[in-house]
Structure 1
Amino acid sequence: MSSNTLNVAVTKTFECSYIPGNQERLLVIQENQLNDHLFEQLLAMGFRRNGNAIYKPHCGACQQCVSIRVPALDFIPSKRQKRTLKANQHIHWQVSHQASEHHFPLYCRYINQRHNDGPMFPPTSQQYNEFLDCDWLEPTFIELFDGEKLIGVAVTDMLPNSLSAIYSYFDPDYEKNSLGSLMILLQCELAKEMGKQFVYLGYQIDDNIKMRYKRQYRPYQLLTASGWQIHQQLS
């Protein structure tokens, strides 16, 4: 890889994981010389990480997968999000750079009970490790605890100027606590504390009911053909 070029491949077309009946294909980058600085530049171009692979939807006519990020220093929780934070004051959290033996069993419970109709079912340790582990970037784990009990994990890439939310999972018994929302709020809080500019949330997919929630974190920016466009806080 030279300083000016990347090797990019296009996958074959396959069934879309997000919109039934649609077909999907990806741009994929697999380079031995990737690092956090280069990856952050690729994030700003709409790419995401899956293990060592960097990918971006490249689906022809369909443009449903839209990259979304939150300007961390400008983020203001909504009234509903403030209620989520208040309702979970008893939950404490910590940042870890080490995988725990308790992570995978919690992930299995989450997938088996919440996403047993999706592409990550059935969960396996090989699938989990290949999805999250990366040779050139050590993932960060934001761990949530109720007392001594691990109840949630937000796997996050910590980059020079941003955080990138990779995947979050939690104890299904705590569904009423809105832990998925809480973990995004904590990522925004952590980014602000660290002086990071953005929290990348992946792809906003309006036609998928499970992927619409990311617009709730305002202000946010969407990646368009004209660049990143900001959407301000609702009045």
Structure 2
Amino acid sequence: MSSNYKLGITKPFPCNYLPEQEERLLIAVDEILHERDHYGWLMQQGFRRSGNDIYRPHCIACHACQSLRVLVQDFIPSKSQKRLLKRNERFNVKLSKEVKESYYPLYEQYINTIHSDGSMFPASKEQFQSFTDNEITQQHYIEIWHDEVLISVAITDDIPNALSAVYTFYHPNYRKHGLGVYSILQQIEITSQLKRQFLYLGYQIEGCSKMNYKNRYFPHQILAENQWQTVNK
């Protein structure tokens, strides 16, 4: 694809992940980029989306944010991941392509219970819609059920040759079941079933405890110095 597209750069602002750091974003401004094929190409360059905004960290003195994607066709779960899959065998996984009314109450309970000390508290429908509403690409909603109870939803973008994890929320009563990890394992499985090559997990940030969990799925690739580098266990 051509690289002659209109991009913008934000002014520096306080970093959301690393204390005492400033953050700056490169924004895909050109409207032609706001569709599935171009977005897939942008993700190969380290971009992600928030709602209809497509961005990439573009900080002057920091390169802590590294885009990470799992090589799903070669993925081998670790011993702890295998144990988690075994422990959660009773759960059922379903795939939906549309938002259901049952999603928001679960999301609200998740934010207001588990993230009551975070910037997203209190939950709102407008906030929820920022994850589910976009004009760029279609989405899959990976549901996890315990009998008749919906306990988790993973919002996942569908892009060429890949899926991209957007946001996962789950029932607070099931926190001990490791539903965050379990949802990623299910996203990997579904990506493989769809015969895609990658599952994008967003930015791995070693210095941030909330953002340094994504490098536990092998093999994966990180984007460093504009090159995808494969990391085997």
Amino acid at match of 1:19: L
How many residue pairs are counted as aligned between the two chains?
Answer: 232
Q: Relative to 1, partners in 2 of residues 1:59 and 1:4: Cα closer, same or farther, differing over 3 Å?
A: closer
For residue 3 of structure 1, report the CA deviation from its aligned partner.
5.4
**Separation (CA, whole Å) in 2 of partners of 1:218 and 1:194:** 19
**Separation (CA, whole Å) in 1 of partners of 2:22 and 2:64:** 12
For residue 105 of structure 1, report the CA deviation from its aligned partner.
1.2
Would the aligned equivalents of 2:131 and 2:166 in 1 still touch at CA under 8 Å?
Answer: no
Aligned to 1:170: 170
Q: Which moved more, 1:200-209 or 1:2-11?
A: 2-11
**Separation (CA, whole Å) in 2 of partners of 1:205 and 1:117:** 21
Aligned to 2:17: 18
**Separation (CA, whole Å) in 2 of partners of 1:122 and 1:28:** 27
**Separation (CA, whole Å) in 1 of partners of 2:226 and 2:36:** 25
Q: Which moved more, 1:216-225 or 1:109-118?
A: 109-118
Secondary structure of residue in 1 paired with 2:94? strand
After the TM superposition, which residues 1-235 of structure 1 pair with which residues of structure 2 at under 5 Å, given as runs? 4-33=3-32, 34-225=34-225, 227-233=227-233
- Deviation per CA, 1:179-207, whole angstroms, max 9, x where unpaired? 00001001111111111000000000111
Secondary structure of residue in 2 paired with 1:17? coil
- Deviation per CA, 1:8-33, whole angstroms, max 9, x where unpaired? 11112211111122211111113433
For residue 102 of structure 1, report the CA deviation from its aligned partner.
1.1
Structure 2: gaps of 5 or more residues: none
Amino acid at match of 1:27: L
For residue 226 of structure 1, report the CA deviation from its aligned partner.
5.0
Q: Relative to 1, partners in 2 of residues 1:10 and 1:162: Cα closer, same or farther, differing over 3 Å?
A: same
Amino acid at match of 1:71: L
Secondary structure of residue in 2 paired with 1:158? strand
Q: Which moved more, 1:11-20 or 1:212-221?
A: 11-20
Q: CA RMSD, aligned part only?
A: 1.4
Secondary structure of residue in 1 paired with 2:90? coil
TM-score by length of 1: 0.94
Would the aligned equivalents of 1:154 and 1:183 in 2 still touch at CA under 8 Å?
Answer: yes
**Separation (CA, whole Å) in 1 of partners of 2:217 and 2:134:** 28
**Separation (CA, whole Å) in 1 of partners of 2:134 and 2:59:** 26
Secondary structure of residue in 1 paired with 2:131? helix
**Separation (CA, whole Å) in 2 of partners of 1:92 and 1:125:** 27
Q: Relative to 1, partners in 2 of residues 1:125 and 1:94: Cα closer, same or farther, differing over 3 Å?
A: same
For residue 4 of structure 1, report the CA deviation from its aligned partner.
4.6
Amino acid at match of 1:117: D
Structure 1: gaps of 5 or more residues: none
Amino acid at match of 1:155: I
